[in-house]
Amino acid sequence: MTSIWEVAKLAGVSKSTVSRVINKSGPVKEETRIAVENAIKQLNYSPSYFAQGIRTGKTKTIAMFVPDHSNVFYMEMLRGVEEVMLKYDYMVLICNTIKSSSREIKYAKELVKRNIDGIIYNTYKMDKKNLEYFLNLSKSIPVIFMDNIVPKDSDAPYVITEGRKSTKKAVQYLYNKGCRRIAYLRVPPDISVINHRYEGYKEGILECGLKFDEKLVYNCSKNEMALSHIEMGLKGAEYLMSLKNPPDAIMAAIDTMAIGAIKYLKSAGYSIPDDVKVIGYDNIDLCTLIEPSLTTIAQPIHKIGTEAANILINKLMGNNNINHQKVFDAQLIIRGST
């Protein structure tokens, strides 16, 4: 097995120079970098990050926490994260926390033992204990928060999308299209980090001069918690359309619930958008694959991933003089369902 010493000897440089080239961690002359890279290629050298980790405390590995690995939203985000991290030779571990607050902390403690270099933290819950834990952890290793849970007076880094105003604007759009019975499919209570979208819905209803009707809001019951989000949307639409005065529009907190609603409406013989208009939230890839295609409030999912990764890379390189709190605007994408 080729060693770093052999690479240095062939390139005519020191071992530390080879290390700087591999880790992109310091200034190296262009001709020196080329000589080192040619030596690496000629000798087919592969650096041992395990060995480097013992010496430096760095493993060239970061973790991305996701509360539900079956949620395609996170897989789209992951593509953005990996796009950046792989440029710097970092590996990305996916930690599926299965919506468990205790599992989030357990994962973090085990990762710290293994010298993880940084964490991109997605969660479903507004958990005070966990927030305090990860805020404290961020003082020793970089943690990028991906949900609207960080206190306004905190300087902790986060990347989020505005949800309240964009949902309110979507209500106004439906009102302008002639809708007067605008219903809402809420996510289960264990996904509390996006409740601001529901607040935007209520504000939009009132600002349009409509009366808020609790019957037009579908809340997932405890017995339905094991269902997929698409199944929840289907159940929700079935409930809403069974009302004596059913809605003429259905909004959903996430796209997959809106897709479930469309599935029910089509099976029950409703015409979309003539009888009922449907709007989702996120803009996952599935939105354009269903018929009719789903109007949705779009998050720039890929950009969210790349932004989080870029902030993390800058922190790993010791550059903290950057704007490390990013709020993306959401955009209403109008498609066939409205």
pLDDT one-digit tens code per residue, 89-102: 899 999 999 999 99
- Residue 178's pLDDT band, with cuts at 50, 70 and 90, is very high
Mean pLDDT of the chain: 92
pLDDT(82) > 60 = yes
Whether cis (ω within 30° of 0) applies to the bond prior to 189 is no
pLDDT for res 200: 97
> Could you tell me the pLDDT band of residue 196, with boundaries at 50, 70 and 90?
very high
pLDDT confidence of residue 144 = 97
pLDDT tops 60 at residue 57: no
Stated pTM of the model: 0.83
- Mean pLDDT along residues 56-64: 82
pLDDT at 220: 85
Give 140's pLDDT tier (boundaries 50, 70, 90). very high
The mean pLDDT of 28-34, rounded to a whole number, is 90
Confidence of residue 149 (pLDDT cuts 50, 70, 90): very high
Cα–Cα distance list, 296 to 137, 181, 231, 320, 333 (Å):
36, 18, 19, 35, 5
Beta bridge partners of 325: 158
Report d(CA 22, CA 112) in Å as an integer: 24
Predicted confidence (pLDDT) at residue 50 exceeds the cutoff of 60: no
Token pair, residue 262, equals 């469309």
pLDDT of residue 35: 92
Q: Average pLDDT in the 117-131 region?
A: 95
pLDDT at 54 over 50: no
Cβ neighbours of residue 7 under 8 Å, at least 6 residues apart? 18, 36, 39, 40, 43, 45
Q: What is the pLDDT of residue 291?
A: 96
CB 330 within 8 A of CB 166: yes
* Cβ pair 77, 305 in contact under 8 A: yes
Percentage, residues of the chain above pLDDT 70: 95
